[in-house]
Chain A
Amino acid sequence: MAEAVKQPEPAGATFEPRIVAFFCNWCTYTAADLAGTARMKYAPNARVIRVMCSGRVDPQFILEAFAQGADGVLIGGCHPGDCHYQEGNYKTLRRVAVLRRVLEDLGVEPARFRLEWISAAEGDKVRSAINEMTEQVRALGPCRARPAAAAVEEVAV
């Protein structure tokens, strides 16, 4: 994930949102593959990380992405009832309910985090979700969730 967010922006460039996308292997990742083979064009701003299930996305991953400089985080999972592991996406839905409130309380704008249910057949939904989110995050500007140096002045042992 560090690689996904740490690529430097070219000097003098306008702001390009960096979005970390966690896609479920069984549905959304396959949908992204479908979007690719169908030659759909969409914003190149999402760095996709394949996980076996949206339920594998520990909230720590999302906070870590923001802490390392991501401007947005997108989770793609199977539609409710379609989870390859029966219940994984329900767990995601419950965790996200708390995560959204935590992010808001910590001053991270709600549009920077998005959960989408995208089946393996919905390549166009991958395109629209990434496009929409890229524009929303672009409008918000860079995320300031990365802790200020003053907060992390760690000391070598």
Chain B
Amino acid sequence: MAAQKPKVAFYWCASCGGCEEAAVDLGEALLTVANQVDIVFWPVALDFKRTDVEALPDGSVAASFINGAIRTSENTEMARLLRRKSQAVIAFGACAQLGGVPGLANLTTREAILETVYQEMPSVVNPERVRPLPEHRSNGHTVDLPALVDPVRPLSSVVAVDYLVPGCPPTPALLAGAVEALLAGQLPPPGTVLAPDVALCETCPRKDTKPAMLAVTAFKRPHEVLADEATCLLAQGLLCLGPATRGGCEGRCISGNMPCTGCFGPTSRVRDFGAKAFSALSSIIEAKTEDAIAQALAGVPDPVGTFYRYSLPASLLRQKRTPA
């Protein structure tokens, strides 16, 4: 047998699969990576089972890349299992890092979601109010389902996380960089976000066209304007979260002439991404009276969905309070 290659695992919790796509987007580089490491678990691509992971000695996996938020009891169990088997756990992507888009479920409750899905949808007929049960016995057999946990949480709320790779999804370059650093044993101190610690504006291809003093009269939504392809989007009145968002995404949205929505999350000095983002963005409104300010903000119909799109479960308040 050849010399032992470092073992690597990939897993998905509450996510859309886009992070898995980032691995596939490595293209031919994926083959090089696959030659250098021994992939022991990757449900989306390889036929390994949970029992295969359980059979591995504790701490024998060099690194587990876990994407997705924590939404079910299964997510928690698998995260804890992989934590036990791994030397390093890497929160991969916005959902694992900050809760991500699934985290917007924290604007409502588990009960309200179940009620909508199993009762209120026009296509649902369910007079007996059948709901999924964590456990069901039938003919002497027991079947079980993971329970939906409330609220949605980032990965770091259930296991210790060593590194975080931001993005929705992270770029293939960031993934390749993380794997490379891992193979070379050149990892930064635990807790580090494996992306540059500067705002997107610093690396923006349109940086030179950003005025020294921005003065926005009204925030516009992308479908309302034909944006110039070379000028700072904020200067054109588009709500671009570049000033508050960590760089490292290669300005992919900007290159597509779309404003930044903040998927790379905060830089290391910020605790609550959404608060910092709306603080920065609302400050540049030109108006000085309440009415005119409200008018300028009419183009932001959903502030939480806009500024906390990827980070509500990791924010200071984490979820909506519902009346007792």
Interface string of B156-191 (1 = CB under 8 A from A): 111110000000000000000000000000000011
For A93, A97, A147, the residue with the greatest tally of chain B CB atoms inside 10 Å of its CB is A97
Distance in angstroms from B269 CB to nearest chain A CB is 11
Q: Could you say which residues of chain B place their CB within 8 Å of the CB of A106?
A: 107, 304, 317, 319-321
Is the beta-carbon distance between B303 and A98 smaller than 8 angstroms?
yes
Query: Which A residue's beta carbon lies closest to that of B315?
Result: A63
Interface string of A71-115 (1 = CB under 8 A from B): 000000000100000000011011101110110011110000000
A80-B272 in contact given A66-B317, A144-B324, A151-B318 (Cβ < 8 Å): no
Q: Could you say which residues of chain A place their CB within 8 Å of the CB of B303?
A: 98, 101-102, 105
Once the chains are docked, how many angstroms separate the CA of A95 from the CA of B317?
17
Which of A60, A108, A151, A156 is within 8 Å of B157, CB to CB? A151
Q: Is A11 interfacial (CB-CB < 8 Å)?
A: no
Q: Is B279 interfacial (CB-CB < 8 Å)?
A: yes
Once the chains are docked, how many angstroms separate the CA of A107 from the CA of B153?
18
Majority-rule SS of A interface residues: helix
Once the chains are docked, how many angstroms separate the CA of A147 from the CA of B321?
9
Is the beta-carbon distance between B282 and A94 smaller than 8 angstroms?
yes
Once the chains are docked, how many angstroms separate the CA of A102 from the CA of B308?
10
Q: How many A residues touch the partner, as a band? A: 35 or more
Once the chains are docked, how many angstroms separate the CA of A74 from the CA of B157?
31
Q: Is B32 interfacial (CB-CB < 8 Å)?
A: no
Query: Which B residue's beta carbon lies closest to that of A91?
Result: B283
Interface string of A114-157 (1 = CB under 8 A from B): 00000000000000000000000000000011011011111111
Which of A64, A66, A97, A150 is within 8 Å of B282, CB to CB? A97
Residues facing A in B261-290 (CB within 8 A) are 270-272, 274-276, 278-279, 281-283, 285, 287-288, 290
Which of B151, B156, B307 is within 8 Å of A102, CB to CB? B307
Is the beta-carbon distance between A99 and B304 smaller than 8 angstroms?
no
Which of B283, B294, B322 is within 8 Å of A107, CB to CB? B322
Distance in angstroms from B214 CB to nearest chain A CB is 12
Which residues of chain A have a CB within 8 Å of any CB of chain B?
58-60, 62-64, 66-67, 80, 90-91, 93-95, 97-99, 101-102, 105-108, 144-145, 147-148, 150-157
6 closest A-B pairs by CB? A107-B321, A63-B316, A59-B275, A157-B160, A67-B316, A94-B282
Interchain Cβ contacts under 8 Å between A and B, 14 examples: A58-B276, A58-B279, A60-B276, A62-B275, A63-B316, A94-B285, A95-B279, A105-B302, A105-B320, A106-B107, A144-B324, A153-B158, A155-B159, A157-B191
Which residues of chain B have a CB within 8 Å of any CB of chain A?
107, 150-151, 153, 156-160, 190-191, 270-272, 274-276, 278-279, 281-283, 285, 287-288, 290, 293-294, 297, 300, 302-304, 307-308, 313, 315-324
